[in-house]
Amino acid sequence: MEKQYNPAAVEDKIYAKWQSENTFAAQENTSRETYSIVIPPPNVTGILHMGHALNNTIQDILTRYKRMDGFEALWLPGTDHAGIATQNVVERKLAQRGESRHSLGRERFLEEVWRWKDEYHTTITTQLKRLGSSCDWDKERFTMDEGLSQAVRKVFVDLYREGLVYRGKYIVNWCPRCHTALADDEVEHHTKASHLWHFCYPLSDGTGHVEVATTRPETMLGDTAVAVNPKDSRYGHLIGKTLRLPIVDREIPIVGDNFVSSEFGTGCVKVTPAHDPNDYQMGQTHNLEYIVILDETGCVTGPVPEKYKGVDRFDARKMVLADLEDLGLMGSIVDHDHSVGHCYRCDTIIEPYYSDQWFVKMKPLAQDALKAAQDGSLTFYPKRWKKTYVNWMEDIRDWCISRQIWWGHRIPVWYCQECGEIIVEMEDPTQCSACSSHNITQDEDVLDTWFSSWLWPFSTMGWPNDTALLQSFFPTDTLVTAPEILFFWVARMVMSSLHFTGKLPFSHVVLHGTVRDKSGKKMSKSLGNSIDPLEIIEKYGTDALRFSLITITAQGADVYLGKDTFDLGRNFANKLWNASRFLLGNLSEPLQFSELPEPTQQKEEDRWILHRYATTVEAVRHALETFRFNEACHLLYDFIWRDYCDWYVEAKKSSFYAPQNEEERRNAYNVASYVLAGALKLLHPVMPFITEEIWMHMRKKITHTAIMNGDTLMLEEYPQIEKNLYQEELGDKFDLLKEMIAALRTIRSENNVPPAKKGSALIIASSPELAEWFSALSYLFTDLANLSDITIDTTASEPDFAGQEVVKGQRLYLHLAGLIDKSVEMDRLQKEISRLEKVLGGLEKKLSNEAFLAKAPGAVVAKEQEKRAGVADTLEKLRTSFEKMK
């Protein structure tokens, strides 16, 4: 093995080996129990970011774990065509060369997008491979594959025939930049500081006016009523009268509607049914006219004064306010913060827009999906997301599925230009089904991108055909995703799957947190605080990235990253490499083992490490099964670094280097290799590359058929729980021994004993039984505490010149004579005592100051009290040591 672990020299080589040996492939019609995950499909033009790294590392951990645990495991990869995002990218590219989609026409534009897709779609998948993702790449899918497109068409046609897809004029969320409708869930709301403008509408009979208040003055050009609450005594007498709409000079009625809040603004609400969803409902109730005064670009249109036509909506706002001022109709302007909807793709302020759109009726589809969460068939991790899911399902609205773009699944609807028939079929029609006319045209819109991805778990496996893949791996088991698409995607997948297959698409939904920087801000390129995973991989290695990310990510909690975060994983990888290299590097010839040594041939440290290994196996398995991945990493870190490397390997050095006999040497390697092989297996799902590389080196030096069977670690059996290795009492006693050795090391450190000098120690044990046990393990004390000899007794006298510690009733002494110069050490202690006395005095004064105690936050006071206690404890120890030296 190389002296230092070099990820760059290992990772590409190992991944290529896995792929060449087809180790990621899942076999259909298998006799094994199956386990499957479908990847949340990243955008076809996307690049790997830390959110991807976290999400896909979790999926890979689960897939590798289940594969090793005997399951036929499928992780099905793929990408999403990302309609709006991809079209925007290509349109920007066209604009750079002075072209647009309209100048090219639909057919040529789509050719451009397909070329873009073919050129860039492998970017994200190549990066996922660098992350170590063990996807079955032969089964990779794309949301506009021929098979998936057929599934989309069937779903649309079937829902249309069931009356669950319909077309109608409604208020939708419109992005003036992307020129398309957005579903409610695709609108991100941000609170903005704005104003509430008050202005007057004169009564038609000239008897007065009413004052309205609005955050969007420009929409008054399309008002068709003013509404008041019929219970409002101020305005009840005005219901039924009419007003003259300023600027436009159109007569509009005053209507009474219980929706109006008497407390908001003036209690009079302008009603613009074509440009506000609440006003739309009032328009339906009162049979009002719907006047569209903004076009798809957000510019003024319709029956308005000529000077307004073609003016941007926000410029029109200024013009309306100026004209109302000139007319003497402006009232007060009040500062007002309110929630404003933005396009989730481009952050443009959305505009409520009245237009023809296609919708899915969601309430009938939501019933079974809601029940699945309520009865526990569908479980969420963390559990708190169940409530969010249920609340959304209970208040679900119809889904606007039409998008006014060209890239995507074109809506399979044709309109007869002769008789008006609407034709919805699985195959493209050539003539009208009602009048046989050939003058038919297809709907120009495409389906919302989510309309294809809500079928992802089963369409990717060949549905609606009853394929072997579908029979073997559907329903899937676990979905790993982010909470922000719980409604966009997760809930819709549950609804579509239950409706079209009669099965839940998955039984477990694991929702991980958001990746943020150390200050708590969400990572994004626009903020300049993002960290490129590929940059981290180049510097630290893939395993370091994966281990660090997962270790600091508690279930469902947000992740706070800095570039120094990844030191954790790199240092752990180096520790594992060095311990493995030490173990294997001392072998001049290969060793073979078929089973562990008999317990009578094992030393106490052997039985202890086997006990710790067995308990770690059970704990890690439980953590993985309950999706507590960071807990699994902490368990592995503690076991491998602290127990195996720092204690066990150190304890066995004499058996490796200078054994009393060959049997002792072989037994040491037997147990050490057994535990190392098991540790590599446990760690492999999280750190696949370094564990595979060490495994290959290990296979050249050691064969342990009790736990090692193949040349490829990723296909080895995941460690099973071995209760026969449990020795709880020994575990407790060994923990005591470790504390005692640590205490002896502390005595050396506190008394400045040079590392090269070995000491002599005395242990006065609390019982004869422990004294006997300590005596049997005296070699561990001498080896690990750097001692020349040790005396263990229950009645020995306390030595004169010695450092001492008490550990759970065991009194430990390190003879200092010959190790340090007594006078020099006493002088040092005296100076340190004097310094700490001054520090303690200052703390006492501060904590007795009533003004400080009254003004300082509780946490600050507590910290100072904790500091005082620590200084007092240290001072007491130093004084005791000084007195003993006199």
Shortest CA distance to 214 belongs to which of 289, 265, 157? 265
Instruction: Tell whether domain 182-345 is in CATH 3.30.390.10.
Output: no
Cβ atoms within 10 Å, residue 808: 10
| CB contact at 8 A, 219 and 263 | no
pTM of the model: 0.84
pLDDT of residue 829: 80
| Mean pLDDT, each 10-residue run in order, the chain (886 residues) | 93 96 95 96 85 95 98 97 88 90 93 91 90 97 95 98 93 85 78 91 92 93 94 90 94 92 87 90 90 92 94 95 94 89 85 90 96 96 95 91 93 96 95 95 95 97 96 97 91 98 97 86 73 91 96 89 90 96 90 94 95 97 97 97 95 86 93 97 98 96 92 95 91 92 90 89 93 93 93 89 85 88 81 91 92 87 90 85 75
d(CA 304, CA 307): 8
Distance (Å) of CA 710 to CA 696, 707, 795: 10, 10, 55
Residues recorded for the chain: 886
Beta strands at 250-256 and 225-228: parallel, antiparallel or unpaired: parallel
Cβ atoms within 10 Å, residue 348: 15
Task: Catalogue the long-range contacts made by 103-111 (C-beta closer than 8 Å, 24 or more residues apart).
Answer: 106/406, 109/406, 110/406, 110/407
Please work out, in degrees rounded to the nearest 5, the angle formed at the alpha carbon of residue 608 by the alpha carbons of 785 and 768. Answer: 65
Helix axes 50-68, 604-625, angle to 10 degrees: 120
pLDDT of residue 3: 92
Structure tokens at 222: 């399309």
CATH of 540-713, one of 1.10.730.10, 1.10.287.610, 3.40.50.300, 3.40.50.720: 1.10.730.10
Delimit the domains of the chain by residue range: 25-163+366-393+453-512, 182-345, 411-444, 540-713, 730-820, 823-885
Structure tokens at 623: 């953590």
d(CA 390, CA 366): 10
CATH topology of domain 25-163+366-393+453-512: Rossmann fold (3.40.50)
Cβ atoms within 10 Å, residue 725: 17
Shortest CA distance to 441 belongs to which of 449, 431, 451? 431
pLDDT of residue 526: 60
Work out whether the CA dihedral 316, 319, 325, 327 comes out positive or negative.
negative
Burial classification of residue 594, based on how many CB atoms lie within 10 Å of its CB (0-12 exposed, 13-18 middle, 19 or more buried)? exposed
| CB contact at 8 A, 515 and 523 | yes
d(CA 647, CA 661): 22
| CB contact at 8 A, 176 and 297 | yes
Distance (Å) of CA 583 to CA 578, 580, 653: 9, 5, 9
Binding site listing for ATP: 525
d(CA 611, CA 607): 6
Tell me the DSSP string of 214-250: ES-GGGGGG--EEEE-TT-TTTGGGTT-EEEETTTTE
The H or E element spanning position 468 is: helix 468-473
Structure tokens at 193: 């500081």
CATH topology of domain 823-885: Helix Hairpins (1.10.287)
Shortest CA distance to 580 belongs to which of 712, 702, 714? 702
Binding site listing: 525
pLDDT of residue 252: 95
Task: Catalogue the long-range contacts made by 825-831 (C-beta closer than 8 Å, 24 or more residues apart).
Answer: 825/751, 825/752, 825/885, 826/882, 826/885, 826/886, 828/752, 829/878, 829/881, 829/882, 829/885, 830/882
Q: What is the dihedral of CA 259, 265, 270, 271, to 10 degrees?
A: -30
Q: Which runs of E-coded beta strand occur in 267-347? A: 268-271, 330-343
Reduced to 3 states, what is the DSSP secondary structure of residue 727? Answer: coil
Peptide bond into 40 cis (omega under 30): no
Q: If you ran DSSP here, which 8-state letter would residue 218 be given? A: G
- Three-state SS letters, 813-862: EEECECCECHHHHHHHHHHHHHHHHHHHHHHHHHHCCHHHHHHCCHHHHH
Helices (H) then strands (E): counts for the chain: 29, 31
Reduced to 3 states, what is the DSSP secondary structure of residue 262? Answer: coil
| CB contact at 8 A, 700 and 585 | no
pLDDT of residue 185: 63
Structure tokens at 140: 């990779």
In the chain the first and final C-alpha atoms are separated, in Å, by 54
Q: What are phi and psi of 509, to 5 degrees?
A: -115, 115
